Each structure stands twice: as C-alpha cells, then as structure tokens.
Structure 1
Amino acid sequence: MSLEIVQVYQSLLGIYGDQGNTKVLQKRAEWRGIDTKVTWVEPGQPLPETGDIFLLGGGEDGAQTAAVKALKADGGLHRAVDRGAVVFAVCAGYQILGHSFGVGDADEPREGLGLLDVTTTRGPRRAVGEVLHRWIGRFGDDAWISGFENHGGYTHLGDDAQPFAHVEVGVGNANDGTEGALQGTVVGMYPHGPVLPRNPALADWLLELALGHELDPLYLPAHDALRRARLAAVRA
C-alpha cells in the first residue's frame, strides 16, 4: 500500500504554515505502515499524475491569481479530480477552487478553477480569530473542528457543493452558519492552525478518502490531551 501527497505551490499558497497539514498526513499514514511519498510542486513544474492527495494553503490576492493561472496552464489538478484524487484546500486555496473570487479593495472578480460550486466576494468585515465548527454527519468528540480563521472573502455555496460543517464559534463561509464545502473528493475550508494537526480525525478521514478504505485507529494520549485543551480554550 502506498500514498503520494502533493503540496501545491508552497511559495504562493503557504504563508500561514499550512504545509503542516502535509506533514500530519504523512506521519499518520506512516504510523500505520503505509509507504508515503511527499511531492512538492512549484509553478512551472508539472503536477504529478500519480498524486493521491493534493493540498493547497493560504495566500494573498496576487498569489491567488498567479496560482490559478499556473494551475490552469498545467491542468493536472483537474485531471487528478477526474480520476478520483483528493484535493484539500484551506482559505485562499479554498477560494480559488471555486468559480470566482474577489481581489483587492474593489473586490475585482477573478475566475477560479471551477472545482467547487462556490463563489467568493469581499465580506462586510474580516473574519479573524479562533473557530469551532461541528462536522456535518460526524458525531462525538471527533465531530468538533477547531482552528484559526483569517479571511476577508465570504464564500457562498451553489447547489452542487455541500457545507462541510456548522459554525459554533466564528464566521465560517459567510456568517451564514456554515463552514467549508465538499463536492466529491474536493474539500475546502477556512481554518488554519494548521487545521489537520488540531483535528486528527479530519486528517484520517482524508487519508481514508484517498485510500478507499477505513484505517485502524491510532492511540496517542498526549495528542488527545492537547486536542481537549484546545477545544476547551475555544469554548472559553
């Protein structure tokens, strides 16, 4: 069993430490004996046709525009989705997966990649702070998603995209009670943190989505204690 994780355009979409999501996926796969390869791709380099999970992180307006241009020219991310690969995108990465997103104070529209049925425009206030969301369809302690949001764009979902979570603390997509979007194997959401170290059940779910089967649980008491402390801090 093997897995290839692809970090997409760290130089453009990596200003909030979201590459930590890649490291967590790698370690949680390796701890289960899964042979794991991490591929780092920058603009001008082709995205691998063998990738199983593609990750995009946060970035500024100019970086978003440049990333979309390079990804459209490459075409590899669209081909990956067509063959069933997982795409997990955070914040700016989430926005560019949609049909359009706004840039600058004038909220000038830019065409996105169209991999999620969402659109993003500038919101009435910037969303900044710790967040807590309840993962739709998941129950128990693992249903809680914590992180840190920092975005001026508000994202609105179309009919083909499903919200990923309900907001308990924070703004989320557009202060409408929803957070993130899911469409097939494409997932976008706003929390940094990075979000996967904070929420190991979410990391394992992405691995399972890519591998096509359930994983044996990992028992890591120290990690569980840290997660409980973070959840308590957000609730406080």
Structure 2
Amino acid sequence: MSTESLRIVWIYPDLLSTYGDRGNLLILARRAMQRGVPVEVAEVRSDHPLPHSADIYLIGGGEDGPQALGAQRLLADGGLHRAVARGSVVFGVCAGYQLLGTSFFAKGAKCAGLELLDLQSDRGPSRAVGELAGDIDPRLGVPQLSGFENHGGRTHLGPGVSPLARVTAGVGNDGTYEGAWRGKLLGTYAHGPALARNPALADLLLRWALGVNNLPPLNDTWAERLRSERKTAVAAGRP
C-alpha cells in the first residue's frame, strides 16, 4: 500500500508489559506488513528518550510501582505529548490506559496522569478479573469487544471523552462502560492481547495511522474462532 514505513513505538517495556500486551505490537506490525506496508518497530525503555515522530504508540499494563514511575518519566520526557500534538495514534491497555488520564491511584497514593484523555481512575470495591466484552461505539465501526481483565481500578470519564464500549460481560470502567477514546487516542482494560482478540480494532488503529478509510481484508479465521469460543464461554458462564 505504501513505500513509507509505519513507525510503531512500544513505550517502556521494562515497566509496562503484563498479560502478553507485547502481542499488540506484534499484531499491528504483522497486519501492516501483510498489506505491503513496511514497518519500523522501536521498544523504548524508560531510561531512554521517547521519539515524538512515530505513527503509533503502545502502552501496556503494569503493577502500581512501575505504572507510577512510567507516568513520572513520560511527564518529564514530554515526547508523547509532542507526538499526540502532531497527530500520532496512542493505544493504552490497563495501567497504560489509566495513565492517559488526569490521575490514578498506585499503592494508595494519588498520582498525576498525562492528561491526554479526560478521565480519572481510582480504586474499586473489588478486583475485576475475568472475561470482558462489550458493544463498541458504533461510530468506530468495530465488532463487539473481546478481552480479559485483571485490575482493581475504576475509571470515570469526563465530557471530553467517549466510552469505547458498553459492557455486556465483566466490569471495565465501572460495570456499565469500558475504555475510552478521543481522536486517535484509545484506551481499554482488555488484555488478551487485545489486538489479537480484536483484529478489527487493530485495523482501526492502522487506518488512523495511515490516514485511510479502508484496508485490504485479511484472513482472520483463527481470530474469529477464538472470538466465537470466548463469546460462547461467556454466554455459558464459563471462565
């Protein structure tokens, strides 16, 4: 499709990388290359400056301490804010999703977020663990969300952001809504990894990054089998 490379950055894999979230990087790169789009991948550790000229930035899940440290370093670095200002795509999962907001809690303390999305996170009455599903905002044109969640947070959206999905199974943000998006920024509590279980969501991020409305279709037989199996399990009340 293009002779220009798609540049993907995985932010702080030494701090934020749980439940196979690196798979999101692999899925994006693979789906782009299958369509003839060259890909450049950078895994930027927390002791290195973050490039601000990439097309897609990925932030994974993590424990409280690494999440707080990651937020501090991203705020001091400023590279992600510059990237967003120039129109880059950002995809955050779990802890990575929370730190895109204005604040979150880690080890009982309130921490400053990146303020890239109008949301704030605190602690819920219980831990949310298990299958997560929801009907995605129809404006995004993506089928039902499928994923796995494991988090103690609850996320509250402000008027400047839209929920990614309305929950049909699991907890997500608050038992009613899951995730959030605005412009080319999108966050979710879904692991799995999320983009392996939701290939249409991966393609949405690619379309945003490439500036196109459509992409050539790919054979997603195995992904659809997995989605169907998990949907059946959720309906039957199995983990």
Relative to the length of structure 2, the TM-score reads: 0.93
CA contact (8 A) 2:6 2:37 kept: yes
Q: Note if 1:223 corresponds to 2:223.
A: yes
CA contact (8 A) 2:196 2:223 kept: no
Aligned length in residues: 232
Corresponding letter in the other structure for 1:46: P
Give 1:133 deviation, angstroms: 1.0
Counterpart in the other structure of 2:210: 211
Give 1:222 deviation, angstroms: 3.3
- Secondary structure of 1:162's partner? coil
Q: 1:174-200 CA deviation, whole Å, 9 max, x = no partner?
A: 12x110010111111101011110110
In structure 1, runs of 5+ residues without a counterpart are none
**In percent, how many aligned pairs have the same letter?**
53
Q: 1:48-107 CA deviation, whole Å, 9 max, x = no partner?
A: 232100000110111011101111111110001000000000000001111000122xx3
In 2 relative to 1, CA 51–129 (structure 1 residues): closer, same or farther, beyond 3 Å? Answer: same
Q: 1:26-63 CA deviation, whole Å, 9 max, x = no partner?
A: 00000000001111001121212321000001101110
Counterpart in the other structure of 1:101: 104
In structure 2, runs of 5+ residues without a counterpart are none
Counterpart in the other structure of 1:180: 179
Counterpart in the other structure of 2:188: 189
CA contact (8 A) 1:134 1:167 kept: yes
Counterpart in the other structure of 2:44: 41
Matches within 5 A, 1:83-232: 83-104=86-107, 107-137=108-138, 142-175=142-175, 177-213=176-212, 214-232=214-232
CA contact (8 A) 2:198 2:223 kept: no
2:9 to 6, 19, 32: 6
Q: 1:150-197 CA deviation, whole Å, 9 max, x = no partner?
A: 11110000010100101000011012x110010111111101011110
**Whole-angstrom distance in 2 between the partners of 1:136 and 1:115:** 20
In 2 relative to 1, CA 217–138 (structure 1 residues): closer, same or farther, beyond 3 Å? Answer: farther
**Whole-angstrom distance in 2 between the partners of 1:192 and 1:136:** 19
CA contact (8 A) 1:136 1:143 kept: no
In 2 relative to 1, CA 138–184 (structure 1 residues): closer, same or farther, beyond 3 Å? Answer: closer
Q: Note if 1:51 corresponds to 2:54.
A: yes
CA contact (8 A) 1:98 1:118 kept: yes
**Dislocated runs of 4+, deviation >4 Å:** none
Corresponding letter in the other structure for 1:6: V
2:18 to 15, 32, 48: 15
Q: Bigger shift: 218-227 or 116-125?
A: 218-227
CA contact (8 A) 1:172 1:180 kept: yes
Give 1:229 deviation, angstroms: 1.9
